[in-house]
Amino acid sequence: MFATLSDRLTATFKNLRGKGRLSESDVNATIRDIRLALLDADVALPVVKRFTGRVRERALGAEVSQALNPAQQVVKIVQEELVAILGGQTRTIRFAKQPPTVIMLAGLQGSGKTTFAGKLGAWLKGQGHTPLLVAADLQRPNAVTQLEVVGERAGLPVFAPERGNMGGHDAVLGSGEGTRSFGDPVAVSRMGIEQARAKQYDVVIVDTAGRLAVDADLMHQASDIRAAIQPDEVLFVIDAMIGQAAVETAQAFHEGVAFTGVVLSKLDGDARGGAALSVADITGEPIMFASTGEKVTDFEVFHPDRMASRILD
Ligand code: GDP
């Protein structure tokens, strides 16, 4: 991911090397190259415009004229502005003062939510937490089973409606510890949190239903769950390979469920990825985690500065 963008930017900066001072036309030529590199990488147009505007302003300002090495100065400015569009500071989970901390996952079907639920849970478990996964995706017959499989692989308990009873009214925790009645994802989510309280799990990760495209029903359901469980974090999982639809999708979810952070999944893919990089800047919410494969351990805390360095390497 981002290899082409990285190559293009590096080539652009090469042209500046050895220049004692940067003229306005040097800066303009550089900005033009950066703009094309970002657009070709699928970064959203408004993000590209803001980005290049800021870089241009700073590059033409005092910073550069006083610098010993103007090319390095420009690279530094681009690096800092890249960090800014990626959300600035590294941010991880805000834990509730009073456990359990409730983390809701939202996103399109196939974006990698269920897989990420296991990864996040395993990561938190490694830090001494005791997460419970809650299967609130009752839309697809397979979704609950899938979360159970993910839970098993990650060594995490799963609160889920009983197998074979998907429209269903019974819930079990793990293999039959206590059965209660409910029929919808809001109730499942609530019940999961109750169970976490009763059994002293300190984090609840609620996996919600996705659709192949944003639709009103999906958003209502997710927003009802959000209202009912008052999560401490709502993480929007987005497939980094989604392309230009990233912006529209992110905006719809931001309006619908007011997510508090972004997870970029499938960062191991070889797509251009720039659209997903636009999501933090477009919504104002930070990218918090990255998913980089199908294994439970293919998980990273997202560091905007390290990602910017990786791109500019
Ligand atoms: P959900 O519908 O949002 O819950 O998505 P899933 O978690 O079921 O993931 C959809 C597909 O993408 C599955 O085949 C996963 O194995 C795969 N997947 C999820 N995350 C990643 C990732 O980071 N990298 C790759 N290569 N595949 C992933």
- Dump pLDDT digits (tens) for 77-111: 999 999 999 989 999 999 999 999 999 999 999 99
Phi-psi category of 243—alpha, beta or left, where left has phi over 0 and alpha has psi -120 to 50? Answer: left
What is the residue with the minimal CA distance to atom 12 of ligand 1? 112
Ligand 1: centre distance to CA 107 (Å): 12
Identify the pLDDT of residue 66.
Answer: 62
CA of 31 to the centre of ligand 1 (A): 36
Intervals of the chain under pLDDT 70: 62-68, 162-183
**What pLDDT, in 10s, does the model give residues 200-237?**
999 999 999 888 888 888 899 899 999 999 999 999 99
- The pLDDT of residue 182 is 37
Identify the pLDDT of residue 60. 84
Checking phi first, is residue 253 left (phi over 0); if not, alpha (psi -120 to 50) or beta?
alpha
pLDDT at 178: 34
Q: Are 185 and 225 in contact (CB under 8 A)?
A: yes
Predicted local distance difference test score (pLDDT) of residue 202 = 98
> Does ipTM surpass 0.95 in this model?
yes
Whether 268 lines ligand 1, by a CB cut-off of 6 Å, is yes
Check residue 166 and give its pLDDT. Answer: 41
Q: How far is the CA of 34 from the centre of ligand 1 (A)?
A: 32
Q: Does the C-beta of 118 come closer than 6 Å to ligand 1? A: no
The pTM (predicted TM-score) of the whole model is: 0.89
